[in-house]
Chain A
Amino acid sequence: MSDAIPTIADAARLIAAKQLSPVELTRACLARVHALDSELHAFVHLTEERGLADARAAERAIMAGGPSGPLHGIPIGLKDIVDTKGIPTTCGSKFLQDNIPDTDAACAEKLAAAGTVLMGKLTTHEFADGGPSFDLPAPPARNPWNTEHFTAGSSSGTGAAVAAGLILGGIGTDTGGSIRGPAALCGIAGIKPTYGLVSRGGVAPAAYSLDHIGPMAWTAEDCALMLQALAGHDPRDPASASRPIPNYTALLGSGIKGLKIGVIHHFHEVDHKVSEGTQRGITAALATFRDLGAELREVQLSPLQDWAACGSLISITERAAAYEEWSRTRLGDFSERMRSRLMLGAFVSGVDYVQAVRRRRELRAELQAAMRGLDVVLTATQPAEAAKIDAVPKWDLFEKPGFMMPFNVAGYPAVSVCAGFGAGGLPVAIQLAGKPFEEPTLFRVADAFEKATPFRSQRPAMTSVN
Chain B
Amino acid sequence: MTDYLPWPLCLTDKYPMTTGNEIMQPDINDAALDYLLARAGLNLTAEQKAELKTVHAGLAAMVERVRKPRGRMAEPAHGYGFAEEDLA
Question: How far is the CB of B57 from the nearest CB of chain A, in Å?
Answer: 8
Using CB atoms, name the residue of chain A closest to B58. A398
The CB with the most chain A CB atoms within 10 A, among B36, B37, B66, B76, is that of B66
Question: How far is the CB of A361 from the nearest CB of chain B, in Å?
Answer: 4
Asked whether A398 and B40 contact (CB < 8 A) given A306-B65, A310-B66, A360-B77, the answer is: no
Contact with B along A321-345 (1 / 0, CB 8 A): 0001001100100000001101111
Asked whether A346 and B58 contact (CB < 8 A) given A306-B65, A362-B68, the answer is: no
Using CB atoms, name the residue of chain A closest to B88. A368
Question: How far is the CB of B87 from the nearest CB of chain A, in Å?
Answer: 6
A194 to B82, CA, bound (A): 10
Are the C-beta atoms of B76 and A327 separated by less than 8 Å?
A: no
Chain B residues within 8 Å of A331, by CB: 42-44
Chain B residues within 8 Å of A328, by CB: 40-43
B81 contacts A by Cβ under 8 Å: yes
Using CB atoms, name the residue of chain A closest to B24. A347
Are the C-beta atoms of B40 and A364 separated by less than 8 Å?
A: no
B59 contacts A by Cβ under 8 Å: yes
- Please provide the chain A residues from 104 to 124 with a CB less than 8 Å away from any CB of chain B in the complex: none
Chain B residues within 8 Å of A306, by CB: 65-66
B70 contacts A by Cβ under 8 Å: yes
Are the C-beta atoms of B82 and A343 separated by less than 8 Å?
A: no
- Please provide the chain B residues from 17 to 64 with a CB less than 8 Å away from any CB of chain A in the complex: 23-24, 36-37, 39-44, 48, 51-52, 54-59, 61-63
Are the C-beta atoms of B82 and A196 separated by less than 8 Å?
A: yes
Asked whether A343 and B42 contact (CB < 8 A) given A348-B59, A356-B66, the answer is: yes
Are the C-beta atoms of B41 and A397 separated by less than 8 Å?
A: no
Are the C-beta atoms of A346 and B40 separated by less than 8 Å?
A: yes
CB contacts between A and B, total, < 8 Å: 120
Are the C-beta atoms of A343 and B74 separated by less than 8 Å?
A: no
The CB with the most chain B CB atoms within 10 A, among A208, A305, A344, A397, is that of A344
Chain B residue total in the interface (Cβ 8 A): 38
Q: Which of B41, B51, B61, B81 contacts A398 (CB 8 A)?
A: B61
Asked whether A309 and B86 contact (CB < 8 A) given A331-B43, A340-B51, the answer is: no
Question: How far is the CB of A255 from the nearest CB of chain B, in Å?
Answer: 25
A344 to B56, CA, bound (A): 8
Q: Which of B43, B56, B81 contacts A196 (CB 8 A)?
A: B81
Q: Which of A239, A352, A435 contacts B63 (CB 8 A)?
A: A352
Chain A residues within 8 Å of B52, by CB: 343-344, 346-347
Chain A residues within 8 Å of B62, by CB: 308-309, 312-313, 398
Contact with B along A425-459 (1 / 0, CB 8 A): 00000000001110000000000000000000000
Report 11 cross-chain contacts, Cβ distance below 8 Å, ordered by A residue: A196-B82, A239-B80, A324-B40, A344-B52, A348-B63, A355-B67, A358-B66, A359-B68, A361-B76, A368-B86, A368-B88
Chain A residues engaging chain B, CB cutoff 8 angstroms = 194-196, 208-209, 238-239, 241, 305-306, 308-310, 312-313, 320, 324, 327-328, 331, 339-340, 342-348, 352, 354-362, 364, 368, 395, 397-399, 411, 435-437
Chain B residues engaging chain A, CB cutoff 8 angstroms = 23-24, 36-37, 39-44, 48, 51-52, 54-59, 61-63, 65-68, 70, 74-77, 79-82, 86-88
